[in-house]
Amino acid sequence: MSFYKNYQKELIDSINLFLNNIITINNIFENLMEEFFLKNYNKVENLTNEISNLESECDMLRRRIERKIYQETLIPEHRGDVLGLLENLDKIPGQLQGNAHRINTEKPEIYEELHDDFNRLIQNNTACINLLISGSKQYFINPKKTIEECLLVSSQESVGDKISTKLKNLIFNNTSLELSKKIHLRYFVENIDEVSNLAEDVADRLIISSFKN
């Protein structure tokens, strides 16, 4: 811990808890999709509720951290950067929650030939999030490491773009599908892919902020 004092450790612990919750939510979403492909819809609903509860916890943690930063005038030289990062990080569990509810409510007909590529897209999101969270935790300790990790997020996000493009090509080249079903499937591809886009946006902010440190 390089530029903050011991009395600020509680703040950093809260931020790390917030970051860990994002990883947990993403892991639950991975599990949710596995159950969805197996048509275990009761489990999908239960996992959706778990994600919603954790997302609400993320919101409460973020607000608590923000109040602590303002009320106790902690990390004043980094306050704006940290508040902006928290706000943007919070979009990731929000997107995962939205995706879970969309899957649970709409139950898209994702035919079996697409399952592997959907899983690859979801696993790529996991890789992006893990890199981002690892880099975020280094922000107060080793900004150079943060930059290294966050630069990898952009490369990983590009992998997701290729997977999503492949999925959309497969969907729209399937002559047996009605146009409405093609559009519906594309909607889910884009919403799942959005998770890595959000991770890349936060990583870019972290890189800029870390250079200032």
- Measured in whole angstroms, the distance separating CA 100 from the mean position of its chain's CA atoms is 12
DSSP secondary structure letter of residue 3? S
| Average pLDDT of the chain, as a whole number | 92
d(CA 84, CA 94): 16
pTM as predicted: 0.92
What CATH number does domain 6-212 carry, 1.20.58.220, 1.20.1300.10, 3.40.50.150, 1.10.10.60?
1.20.58.220
Any idea where the domains of the chain sit in the sequence?
Answer: 6-212
State pLDDT tens for residues 128-155: 999 999 999 998 889 999 999 999 999 9
The CB-side HSE value for 162 (13 A sphere, CA atoms) comes to 8
Residue in 185, 52, 174 with CA at minimum distance from that of residue 118:
185
Mapped to the 3 state alphabet, what secondary structure does 28-54 carry? HHHHHHHHHHCCCHHHHHHHHHHHHHH
Cβ atoms of residues 85 and 38 within 8 Å: no
State pLDDT tens for residues 74-99: 566 667 788 889 999 999 999 999 99
d(CA 57, CA 88): 16
**Stretch 61-68: mean pLDDT, rounded?**
88
Number of Cβ within a 10 Å radius of residue 107 = 12
